[in-house]
Structure 1
Amino acid sequence: METKPIYNSDLHFEHQQWNKELAFWKDELKSFQNRLDELVIRWTDHQVLAKLDQFQNHFNIHKNKIDEFKENIHAHELNISKHFEANENAIDRVHFKQHSKFREQIETQRDIYNDLKKRFFKFLSKYM
């Protein structure tokens, strides 16, 4: 079985896609924050406020994760540019393993975020 090279341009493309997705998440979290702010004003029930606080904490964790991912993507992009300057178009196995691991982390975070959104929308439908 022939091993095909993994080109830096392919990784760069994937990074661009991830950055767009992360920007969308960050923007979406701003909308969710606005909803939280509205609900804090409307409700005085301690159970509802505790749930709002939980969502606030989850949103903050996710915002921090977005920033961490953006930093990692930027670092990997710098690595790719160094390879490009050295006329190396394909990534080596070590860096590809790192990229694959990072891809898994993005996919896991995507699942976590989608679950959070579902729970938040369910909460909003009950308390808005």
Structure 2
Amino acid sequence: MYNTDLHFEHKLWQRELTFWEDELKSFNNRLGELVTKWTDKNILAQLDHYQNQFILHGTVIDKLQEDITMHEVNMSAHYKKDEDVLNYSFVKKHIEFRNKMETQRHIYSELKKDFFRFISKYMLQEK
């Protein structure tokens, strides 16, 4: 595995994480619209749940971005030493990170599905 391979995958992940951040902004806007529309305590509790989930997911995104940056710095140090082929432990960490991204993709996808079902039910409904 070479630095260029890992760098390419990092760039893909960074774009995906940036997209998720943008989506979370949009989801929070939808929450704001629903909060002004509803006074039912059960619905407001669900809105609070989604808001907390979005905050949590935003924190995870920040951590993943930080990890990618640290990985890139490490790769850069190898590159400066003309070490294009990476050692086993570094590649192992990259694969573990890839698994983290896969897990987070699944978690985020489920959150989005649940949220879309929720807003489909309550966005168009009258109080």
Q: Same fold by TM-score, threshold 0.5 exceeded?
A: yes
Alignment partner of 1:68 out of 63, 69, 73:
63
Structure 1 length as normaliser, TM-score?
0.95
Does residue 20 in structure 1 map to residue 47 in structure 2? no
Alignment partner of 2:101 out of 74, 99, 106:
106
Counting matched residue pairs gives 123
| Deviation >2 Å, runs of 4+ | none
Aligned partner letter, 1:80: M
Which runs of no fewer than 5 residues in structure 2 stay unpaired?
none
Aligned partner letter, 1:73: I
Paired position in structure 2 for 1:126: 121
Alignment partner of 1:78 out of 54, 63, 73:
73
Aligned partner letter, 1:95: F
Q: SS of the residue aligned with 2:117? A: helix
Paired position in structure 1 for 2:47: 52
Structure 2 length as normaliser, TM-score?
0.96
Paired position in structure 2 for 1:39: 34
- The Cα shift of 1:91 comes to 1.1
Residue identity over aligned pairs, in percent, reads 54
Paired position in structure 2 for 1:29: 24
**Partner Cα distance (2:104, 2:9) in 1:** 16
